[in-house]
Amino acid sequence: MGKTEFEVINKYFSFPANGNDVELSVGDDCAVVSLSGIHHQKLLITTDTLVSGVHFPVETSPRDIAYKSLMVNLSDLAAMGATPKWVTLSITLPEIDEAWLSAFSEEFNSVLAEHKVSLIGGDTTRGALSITIQAMGSCENRVMRRNQARPGNLIYVTGKLGDAAIGLTAILKHIDDKKLQPCIDRLNRPVTRVQFARALSEYSSCAIDISDGLLADLQHVLTASKVGAVIRLPEIPLSDAAHFYFKHYLNDQLDWPLILAGGDDFELCFTISDTHQEAVHSLAESHDVALSCIGRITQDEELVILDESGQSLQFEHTGYQHF
């Protein structure tokens, strides 16, 4: 006989808490958490929905879906310097597929344990596959905000950009090439900079996670801060796999719109003043995070993109938009 909704919740979504701050978890009308350990801190709350066919290709494995849906939420907390603590999971499933559920549940639990985050509640409904996670975290230091970039600040990004967009292209174009696997991995398994970001907030007051593409997300910072920026394309960090893709599949042409507006990087973009440059570099080193300085914040409310020869470029589409 098929399982009821409550059997599904019990079997697949009732995990032990990963901290002693959960007083009541899955099973009642609400979850209850204790704020005693963080009573002088700030509570940060975010939510993100992932819809099959929109946020991940329909053939994505349940493990990758579990991983990514959690990571995109932890990435939002990281971008503001918070430590993730609790999540809720609202999941819509087309059917009760136990093999799918058990793979999803196992991966979800293992990512939660790794980041010491507790699943404390949610909702389970029937319909087209969609996953909504609400993530809550605490912040004892300064919260990094989009509206804090100042003229003269240096603009940095972590890691490499464009890999996830190349991975998605490889999947959609059915390019079967082992050398592009790192890009597909970055699409399905984004690496979020939670620990680094938390420490970064000592030096930076402005950060954003790159989810829609660098240009779109940097533009959010510029608009919120009422400033502009000059960025230099030769400074944009690309992976070996990305170079391989452009060399072998695009006649050695870099596809800048793909790199800068493809999205799903989940790297951090942040600003600092020159005085903190050295400290931030050694911080990144100690967290094993690659850093690239890609430009500077300016007074003019305009985003200027310079190519190798110093010419300014225009892009038609700056990022992924749902509507």
Query: Where along the sequence are the contacts to ligand ADP (CB under 6 A)?
Result: 9, 13, 26-29, 89, 91, 119, 121-124
CA angle, 29 as apex, 27 and 32 as ends, to 5°? 80
Site for Mg ion in 41-100 (CB under 5 A): none
Of 3-11, 87-95, 118-126, 167-175, which part binds Mg ion (CB under 5 A)?
118-126
The answer to whether 123 contacts Mg ion (rule: CB under 5 A) is: yes
> Rounded to the nearest whole angstrom, what is the least distance from the CB of residue 141 to Mg ion in the complex?
35
CA end-to-end span of the chain, whole Å? Answer: 42
> Rounded to the nearest whole angstrom, what is the least distance from the CB of residue 124 to Mg ion in the complex?
7
Q: For 45, what's the count of Cα atoms within 13 Å in the CB-facing half-sphere?
A: 3
Residues contacting 251, CB < 8 A, separation 6+: none
Nearer Cβ to Mg ion (129/280): 129
Contact in structure between 154 and 293 (CB atoms under 8 Å): yes
Residues contacting 301, CB < 8 A, separation 6+: 222, 223, 226, 227, 228
> Rounded to the nearest whole angstrom, what is the least distance from the CB of residue 44 to ligand ADP in the complex?
20
The answer to whether 240 contacts Mg ion (rule: CB under 5 A) is: no
Of 117-125, 188-196, 220-228, 232-240, which part binds Mg ion (CB under 5 A)?
117-125
> Rounded to the nearest whole angstrom, what is the least distance from the CB of residue 8 to ligand ADP in the complex?
8
Contact in structure between 211 and 146 (CB atoms under 8 Å): no
Nearer Cβ to ligand ADP (133/268): 133
Distance CA 101, CA 96 (A): 8
The pair phi, psi for residue 108, each rounded to 5°, is -60, -50
Nearer Cβ to ligand ADP (5/140): 5
> Rounded to the nearest whole angstrom, what is the least distance from the CB of residue 94 to ligand ADP in the complex?
15
Applying CB under 5 A, the residues found at the interface with Mg ion are 123
